Structure 1
């Protein structure tokens, strides 16, 4: 009877846990990002709490407001930039419909082998511009619907980001209590190895934050500086795109076309400058800073972390940036523990055989 009662209690607990997961499912992503943000910036929270004489609530409030300002200001600037560029594109399309293409640049015809063909193509596009716009007009509605769907997703992402910034306040304020709860839970589940795996997960997340996101932020800032010096329009948008493409390790897809645009405009000096800046400064940061930050402070192989980052993004989306390397790190450590336990037994089993052979 006792066994049946215990089984019933376990079933009820599982049902209760399932119901809790069901309730929290719509907020999993926001909770995840709030937890990662709080964990990554916890040293700042600790220092700020010390400055405020242990007032963790005030420190959490100030830090949360700071994050809101830090995130809101670039987003507002980005919105204004996108609106300006949309107006410029509309004016460009109208001018192309009315006036046609401008005169081809002189250097286009001077290109060896393909110069004459490019001039003929330019003239053909100029003559058939009206027919071309009439041909693509039926697809404009489909493009508008596609943009509407993407805008809805972007709006949902902004709402999720706002919720994360609200939830991060509670992670800051109640962080020690949550850490103690997780620590006690893991101790109940796996015993003395709980401290080891907590340190492993914390170290892996910290290394990914420092290595991947830190490198992306550094590349975005350097790219913005380079675009601003070169006079590239929309430097802020291109800097944010560099931040996004840094996760895929392909920032040249952003600064490369910018170099080509400068050359197209005849600004060869600035094109050479931006090419050198992009090759040795923007991309050089990825080759030097990322491996250093990821490999610092841990004995986990760099290839495991990098595979976890890329595989996690493909498997889980952007959350996989942290889930992927964390899962691989825990699995790697579990295999290491298993081998450590098995090797002495294997060595002990082989010792009598060797003595018999002698």
Structure 2
């Protein structure tokens, strides 16, 4: 017989949980990134808290301020410079439309099979500049709308980033209590295996963080080398910006593509071609190789599961899927492995029943 009071309490608890999730829904992404950042940098929190003699709130405040200085301010500076460069690019397009293109470079004549055609196309565009730009106007409008939409997304991402950096303070300060709460809740749900799955999730997230940061560091160093070889001014600053933008999808091209265009505009066509190839196949290409390797290193997951988790997670959940995808597949893989490896219980037949079923002849 059902206990009506117990059923009513369960329904109220579910309704309360649903309402709470509804309230937190606008902040899910910011909470997620704050939790990932706090988890990844928790060793720093322990060291700083120990140096401050256990004052966790002061350590959390100092570490949060450090993240603000290290992440938020450089990104704000980058967006400000990006807006200025957009105005410069608009002015450059107007100048080209009014004054025409510069003379074609010498190496363009020497391109095998296509050199003469490229030179003729260059002169044709120069001679018919006004008509050419007039034909591009509809596409330029679409491109402008696309840039405007991306700018709005970047602005929303900046607001979300600042909110995450504010919330990370509370994850630092109350991290142990939150971890104990999650552990107790999982113990109520799945029993003794809660610690195993918590370790599995923690290990997977740690490997993903190591893969993301390690890949970003490699891309920053490779970008620095490419900018230094090509003679781009401010190579060190651009390398640091590449490292920061490597943490977001399609971030490094926002640095090496304008640098390549700058080289081409100043007549360094050879270095422009070099930097374009270096950026496409080395700076951006290393992301597809190094990140899955670092994520799968040190775990017992097959590499194909990691690859599917990384790329499928990004397609399904956006950038959050970089962490959610491998974590979900890791938990599912472990659950299925436990289920397959767990022997089904065998029915034990008492001796008396056996004697009744098979009486002695």
Supply the distance in 2 between the matched residues of 1:181 and 1:343 (Cα, whole angstroms): 33
Question: Secondary structure of the equivalent of 1:315?
Answer: helix
Q: 1:270 to 1:131 in 2, by over 3 A?
A: closer
Alpha-carbon distance in 2 for matches of 1:267, 1:121:
17
Deviation at 1:114, TM superposition (A): 1.7
Q: Within the alignment, does 1:177 sit opposite 2:202 as a pair?
A: no
| SS of residue paired to 2:335 | helix
Measured after TM superposition, the shift of residue 300 of structure 1 is 2.0
Contact map agreement 1:60 1:173 (CA 8 A) in 2: yes
Q: Would you say 1:297 and 2:329 are equivalent positions?
A: no
CA distance change for structure 1 residues 5 and 190 in 2, over 3 Å: closer, same or farther? same
With the length of structure 2 as denominator, give the TM-score of the two structures.
0.83
Structure 1 residues 44, 324: CA separation in 2 closer, same or farther (over 3 Å shift)? same
Post-superposition Cα deviations, 1:193-246, rounded to whole Å, max 9, x if no partner, equal: 000000000000000000133212331343145324523368666875676678
Residue matched to 1:332: 333
2:101 counterpart of 1:101: yes
After superposition, the Cα gap between the structure-2 partners of 1:171 and 1:325, relative to the gap in structure 1 and judged at 3 Å, is same
Whole-angstrom CA distance in 2 between matches of 1:270 and 1:106: 14
Distance (whole Å) between structure 2 residues aligned to residue 252 and residue 283 of structure 1: 11
Gaps of 5+ in 1: 347-358
Mapped contact 1:262–1:271 kept (Cα < 8 A) = no
Shift of 1:301: 2.1
Contact 1:200-1:329 within 8 A present in 2 as well = yes
Question: In 2, Cα distance between the equivalents of 1:279 and 1:151?
Answer: 26
1:118 Cα deviation after fit? 1.2
* Range with greater deviation from structure 2 (59-68 or 70-79): 70-79
1:49 and 1:55 in contact (8 A); partners too: yes
Mapped partners of 2:322, 2:101: distance in 1:
44
Matched, 1:313 2:314: yes
> Any gaps of 5 or more consecutive residues in structure 2?
348-361
Q: What TM-score comes out, normalization by structure 1 length?
A: 0.83
SS of 2:343's equivalent in the other structure is helix
What is the distance in 2 between the residues matched to 1:205 and 1:309?
Answer: 12
Matches within 5 A, 1:74-223: 74-138=74-138, 140-223=140-223
What is the deviation of 1:7? 1.1
Larger helix share, 1 or 2: 1
Q: Does the C-alpha gap of structure 1 residues 108 and 237 become closer, same or farther in structure 2, counting only changes over 3 Å? A: same
